[in-house]
Amino acid sequence: MSSSVAHAEHHHKETFLSKYVFSMDHKMISKQFLITGIIMGVIGMAMSIAFRLQLAYPDTSFPILEWFFGSKWAPDGKLDAGYYMALVTMHGTIMVFYVLTAGLSGTFANLLLPLQIGARDMASPFMNMLSYWFFLLSSIVLLSSLFVETGPASGGWTIYPPLSALPKAMPGSGMGMTLWLTAIVLFIVSSLLGGINYISTVLNMRTKGMSMTRLPLTVWALFLTAVLGLLSFPVLLGGGLLLLFDRGFGTSFYLSDIYLGSAGALEHTGGSPILFQHLFWFLGHPEVYIIIMPALGITSEIIAVNSRKPIFGYTAMVISLMGIAFLSFIVWGHHMFITGMNPLLGAVFLVTTLIIAVPSAVKTFNYLATLWRGNIRFTNAMMFAIGLVSFFISGGLTGIFLGNATLDIQLHDTYFVVGHFHIVMGCAAIFGMLAGIYHWFPKMFGRMMNKPLGYIHFWFTFISAYLVFFPMHFMGLAGVPRRYYAFTLLPEYGVWFDVNVVMTLAAILGGIAQIIFLYNFFSSIFIGKRSGTNPWQANTLEWTTPEERIHGNWPGEIPTVYRWAYDYSNPAYEEDFMMQNVPDEGVEEELFETPKTKINKTSKKPKTEAVTLFTLIKNWLKPNTI
């Protein structure tokens, strides 16, 4: 085909720069996202250990902190109260945006979308490259704020004005906040460039036979994630720009009736701080699903592959993903039940919030049904996928408490919230990401990761994560507020003293476990066992590409797809898997001329789908023939 010839032509011109740095190859870009994400993750985690030390040992001198942060931020080896806030803020920002949005979606959307739908690259490789470079630039700007005189942004990752709008309200709202906003603007640009690309790739570049109903669930999840990002990130962009105006140009979008101890009565009048919160959470809540949906998609794929069973209820899985994606736009107010928002609105958000638990529950039950009577192989990826499901259950259930406005009056901004979102969104999404790394490492580097080390990594991380975050629910139920530098305000907080010690030590244990992972990851790139083309005996198209990972993905024709992605252990076949590109006798010619029912009759595979809603979608989005 002409496209493959064209690829062969510019193949030999690659230099080091064009291959590894300014690469437009989606696989290289995905590695760039991944490694940047891992670096940001290490920084974010180190920060969390630093402030957990403060929480567990509020009066102890840690010379290492002074050595690391300098005597300004950690005088006598004790974190400064303002810098504690700064670390909390930066930890949140880095983890939410830089690791779990860009690091997770960026890596796997780039790697998997073209490979799993059978495309040679993204719809726009250049935009794809730009997306990474904006992300990198954004990361550098954000990290540079650690070195400004007044310290990085420290008003919490939600940067509520007026605190974040007034440089005189706290040191972190000075230069650090400006850099934070700049970094986020760059980040949004990166995210939009990527998102548009992912959407157009999935809609336009599917190979012959790859209808929307045959897409692997990873692709569905990443596709819907991109849609969410595309619709919600611009709102934060707008909100952030207005905040910049309030900070720099004297406007009053969010400011009104303020008297500052250090500046007297301000001129601002007529603005509303609540407006910012609406704009922020209009992104902020979909953002939670932007984080978790790719992880759920990855888990669906990995659980099916390693249980050697089709994912249970493919249609239900896709519908619930769509349901989550839609509902995530109308629940943002549950972050604001008691912010002074009209109580009537609160009641509405209470209803929508609890509805979103239904599709989440369906997904969980479907995972369990997939495991049932499977033939489970505990690969490293499978362990993390199971861990994800466990976190998703634990954290999802506590969400029912927080989504209920009445109970939120008591639990809002306590450690219950910290425990909840770290388990359901933090740990679950990180586990999804790690599962994805272990599973697709062979596709990225052509080598396998060290399995025993992966097991150690899993068990240490899994246990320490529960040890850190589970006790937080109890603290929250006892009314201990989050974002406290030290628990000295009330004597009753003293009883949580040793619990905090346990949590901190568990966090350190978790940190050490990540060192194992880092060693495993980077050493396996060079000394891992060669993987072969399909090490997991999986069905999807990425495992049909050669081990060498060439530009353009397939040396010859792009394979044609003949079946859905989950024909595992189908009794019609001898093997326990049947790849998507393997034709059934006498079917390929009439694939698109014959109606769906006829295909089912001629193929040996039993009827697996009750396609009613999807027939509509399928007709609407006809697969692309290259």
Partner 1 sequence: MSIIIKNPVKLLFVLFGLFFFQNSQAYKNKLTRPIDGIEGTDELIKQGSELFSANCASCHALKGKVVGPALEGVIDKYEEDYAWLNAWIKNSQKLVKSGDERAVAIYNEYNGQAMNIFENLKDEEITSILMWIDNGGDGDSPAANTDESLNSNQPVFNESLFNNINWAIVLLSFLIFLIIVMIFGILELVSNVTGREVINWNNINAFMMLVFLIGFFGLVIYEYNIHSEFLLPESASEHGIEMDKMMKWTWVATLPVFFITQFLLFFFSFKYRQKPGRKAYFLSHNNNLEYVWTLVPAVVLAILVSGGFKMWNKILRSDDSKNAKQIEVFAYQFGWNARYPGNDGKLGKANYNLINGINPLGVANRNHANELIKELQEDIYSMENTISKLPKELAKLKSALGGRVGDDHEAHLRKIDSYESGDVENDLRLTIRARNTQIERLTGALKINEGSMFTGEGDDDQVVQEIHLIKDQPIRLKFRARDVIHSAYLPYFRTQMNVVPGLPTEFTFTPIKSTEEMRAIKGDPEFDYYLICNKICGNAHFNMKMKVVVEDEASYNEWIKQQTSLFAEENTKAEDSEITTTEKEILAIN
Residues 314-333 that bind partner 1 (CB under 8 A): 314-316
Does 613 bind partner 1 (CB under 8 A)? Our answer is no
Does 245 sit near partner 1 (CB under 8 A)? no
Number of residues that bind partner 1 (CB under 8 A): 155
Q: How far apart are CA 55 and CA 10, in angstroms?
A: 56
- Taking alpha carbons only, the member of 581, 526, 304, 543 closest to residue 443 is 543
Tokens representing residue 394 in the block = 């634990």
Question: Applying CB under 8 A, does 535 fall inside the site for partner 1?
Answer: no
Q: List the one residue out of 48, 36, 19, 18 whose CA is nearest residue 105.
A: 36
Please tell me whether residue 340 binds partner 1 under the rule CB under 8 A.
yes
Record the tokens describing residue 129, joined without a space: 């490259």
**For partner 1, the closer CB: 358 or 616:** 358
Phi, psi (5° rounding) for residue 377?
Answer: -100, 125
Contact set for partner 1, span 31-60 (CB under 8 A): 56-60
- List, in order, residues 6 or more apart from 398 with CB less than 8 Å away: 416, 419, 420, 423, 424, 473
Q: Within positions 64 to 83, which residues make up the interface with partner 1, using CB under 8 A?
A: 75, 78, 80-82
- Give yes or no for residue 22 binding partner 1 (CB under 8 A): no
According to CB under 8 A, which residues from 506 to 525 bind partner 1?
Answer: 512, 516, 519
> Out of 35, 244, 354, 626, which residue is the one contacting partner 1 (CB under 8 A)?
354
Q: Output 203 or 316, the one with its CB closest to partner 1.
A: 316
> Which SS3 state, helix, strand or coil, does residue 426 take?
helix
Taking the complex as a whole, the smallest distance from the CB of residue 404 to partner 1 amounts, in Å, to 4
Task: Decide if 303 contacts 568 (C-beta within 8 A).
Answer: no
Separation CA 529–CA 524 (nearest Å)? 8
Per CB under 8 A, the segment of 133-141, 195-203, 588-596, 602-610 that binds partner 1 is: 602-610
136 binds partner 1 (CB under 8 A): no
User: Which residues within the stretch 413-442 sit at the binding site for partner 1 (CB under 8 A)?
Assistant: 413-414
Nearest-approach distance from CB 394 to partner 1, in angstroms: 7
Q: Least distance in Å: CB of 600 to partner 1?
A: 13
Select the residue interacting with partner 1 from 42, 46, 266, 591 (CB under 8 A). 266
**Residues in region 83-102 near partner 1 by CB under 8 A:** 85
Examine residue 529 and tell whether it contacts partner 1 (CB under 8 A): yes
Both tokens assigned to 482:
């989050």
CB of 363 to partner 1, least distance (A): 10
Are the CB atoms for 525 and 445 separated by under 8 Å? Answer: yes
Q: Which of 43, 102, 153, 166 is in the footprint of partner 1 by CB under 8 A?
A: 166
Contacting residue, 21, 140, 241, 498, with partner 1 by CB under 8 A: 498
Q: Does 570 bind partner 1 (CB under 8 A)?
A: yes
- The site string for partner 1 over 435-474 (x = CB under 8 A, - otherwise) reads ---------------xxxx-xx--x--xx--x---xx--x
Contact between 584 and partner 1 by CB under 8 A: the answer reads no
- Identify whether the C-beta of residue 159 lies closer than 8 Å to the C-beta of residue 153: yes
Tell me if 61 contacts partner 1 by CB under 8 A. Answer: yes
* Cα separations in angstroms, 54 against 265, 478, 490, 507: 35, 21, 17, 13
Minimum distance of partner 1 from residue 335's CB (angstroms): 12
**Closer to partner 1 by Cβ: residue 223 or 493:** 493
Between the alpha carbon of residue 475 and those of residues 54, 85, 505, the distances in Å are 17, 20, 17
Residue 72 to residues 68, 83, 86, 88, 584, Cα–Cα distance (Å): 11, 9, 13, 17, 70
Site for partner 1, residues 144 to 163, rule: CB under 8 A:
149-150, 154-156, 160, 162-163
* CA atoms of 433 and 60, how far apart (whole Å): 35
Please list, in sequence order, all residues whose beta carbon lies within 8 angstroms of the beta carbon of residue 494, skipping any fewer than 6 positions away: 487
Q: What is the DSSP string of 47-94?
A: HHHHHHHHHH-TT---HHHHHHHHHHHSGGGS--HHHHHHHHHHHHHI
Q: Does 279 help bind partner 1 (rule: CB under 8 A)? A: no
Tell me whether residue 103 or residue 374 sits nearer to partner 1 (CB atom).
374
CA gap 356, 326 in Å, rounded:
9
249 binds partner 1 (CB under 8 A): no
Q: Which of 49, 127, 203, 369 binds partner 1 (CB under 8 A)?
A: 369
- When asked if residue 479 is in the footprint of partner 1 (CB under 8 A), the reply is yes
Q: Which residues have a Cβ under 8 Å from the Cβ of 170 and sit 6 or more positions away?
A: 82, 85, 154, 155, 163
For partner 1, which stretch binds (CB under 8 A), given 98-106, 119-127, 197-205, 601-609? Answer: 601-609
- Report the candidate in 562, 603, 552 with the shortest Cα–Cα distance to residue 208: 562
One symbol per residue from 378 to 417: x for binding partner 1 (CB under 8 A), - otherwise; what is it?
x----x--x--xx--xx--xx-xx--xxxx-xx-xxx---
